[in-house]
Amino acid sequence: MTKIEIKDLHVNVGDKEILKGFNLTVNGGEVHALMGPNGTGKSTLAYALMGHPRYNIVKGDILLDGESILDMSVDERSRNGMFLAFQYPVAIPGVTLANFLRVALNAKAKAHNPDDKGISLVNFRRLLRSKMDMLKMDYAFGARYLNDGFSGGEKKRAEVLQMAMLEPRIAILDETDSGLDIDALRIVADGVHALKSSELGVILITHYQRMLEYMNPDFVHIMYAGSIVESGGAELALKLEAQGYDWIREKYPDTRNSGQA
């Protein structure tokens, strides 16, 4: 069964330490919500897990199924089942979403079996359409250039579509709910919900209770100034919804203002 263990992770961006001893274990089948005020290192965690070159891991380890992934390149991590749904996906002009997904699927298949000839066009189209149906996406979307001129909601939906196609084992969703209206939110949340399986562990970074209502997380963590300061169940998210973060800032004053996005 899938398992990711993040152990005492310290991450610098430039000279600045952003993550200061972050610990979390996520098993397949679990959904962990990660909440917290802006600038506490949530996106840093997402980038560091995926291996962004500018996020420098100075201490600690990340184990996927017991093996460290720190020496793996970004694409190797992806092919080993890691996935990041970006908060701000970049545009790749001139490359259609469908073509991009086909190349990505084939890259993954080839990594697992060098003789893999890749998915046929017919099978690919069938697969893509079934996933698009799930996310209530127009098929014409596949012919658009990747994230190029997409609205905020379209970008988020495209991220979840990619997740559905690539079938990761660990998915980090970085504020996939932000910028969505209530209908889009429900569709995206339903889509992610439909992907839940015992093989998939989810880290859901969010500011809002709304997404959690649909996703029904097993654990809620509050992150503050570079590490998790509170963990609990759904009641923790409700408390945040009602009271905001002031009580966190008061409870953990020594770490105040020391974090940065």
Partner 1 sequence: MSDQNKQSFLNQFGADYQYGFSDPDIASFRAEKGLTRDIVRQISAFKEEPEWMLNLRLKAYEHYIKRPMPGWGPDISDLDLNNIYYYVRPPEINQRSWDDVPDTIKNTFDKLGIPEAEQKFLAGVGAQYDSEMVYHSIQENLEKQGVIFLSIENGLKEYPDLFREHFGKVVPIQDNKFSALNTAVWSGGSFVYVPKGVKVDLPLQAYFRLNNPNLGQFERTLIIADEGSQVHYVEGCTAPTYTEDSFHSGVIEIIVKKNARVRYSTIQNWSTNVYNLVTQRAAVYENGTMEWVDANLGSKVTMKYPSCYLYGEGAHGEMLSVAFAGPEQIQDAGSKMIHFASNTSSKITSKSISRGNGRSSYRGLVRVASGLEKINSNVVCDALLLDPESASDTYPTIDIRSDDVNIGHEASVSRIGEEQLFYLNSRGLTDEEATTMIVSGFIEPLVKELPMEYAIEMNRLIQLQMIGSVG
Q: Which residues bind partner 1 (CB under 8 A)?
A: 50-54, 73-75, 77-79, 82-84, 86, 89-90, 92-95, 100, 103-104, 107-108, 111, 145-146, 162, 166
Q: Which is nearer to partner 1, 132 or 222 (CB)?
A: 132
- Min dist CB 21 to partner 1, Å, is 25
- Min dist CB 61 to partner 1, Å, is 20
DSSP 40-65: SSHHHHHHHHHT-TTEEEEEEEEEET
- Min dist CB 98 to partner 1, Å, is 13
Q: Which is nearer to partner 1, 46 or 215 (CB)?
A: 46
Other CB atoms within 10 Å distance of the CB of residue 167: 16
Quote the CA–CA distance of 153 and 180 in Å, as a whole number. Answer: 5
Q: Which is nearer to partner 1, 71 or 181 (CB)?
A: 71
Side by side, which strands form the sheet with 67-68? 16-27, 3-13, 55-64, 67-68
- Min dist CB 172 to partner 1, Å, is 10
- Min dist CB 202 to partner 1, Å, is 16
Q: Which is nearer to partner 1, 204 or 248 (CB)?
A: 204
SS3 content of the chain, % helix, strand, coil (to 5): 40, 25, 35
Q: Which is nearer to partner 1, 84 or 180 (CB)?
A: 84
Closest CA to 111 of 103, 100, 122: 103
Residue 235 vs residues 155, 217, 239: alpha-carbon distances, Å: 30, 11, 6
Judge residue 234's burial from the number of C-beta atoms within 10 Å of its C-beta, 0-12 exposed, 13-18 middle, 19 or more buried.
Answer: middle
The C-alpha angle 237, 238, 240, rounded to 5 degrees, equals: 65
- Min dist CB 151 to partner 1, Å, is 18
Q: Which is nearer to partner 1, 93 or 253 (CB)?
A: 93
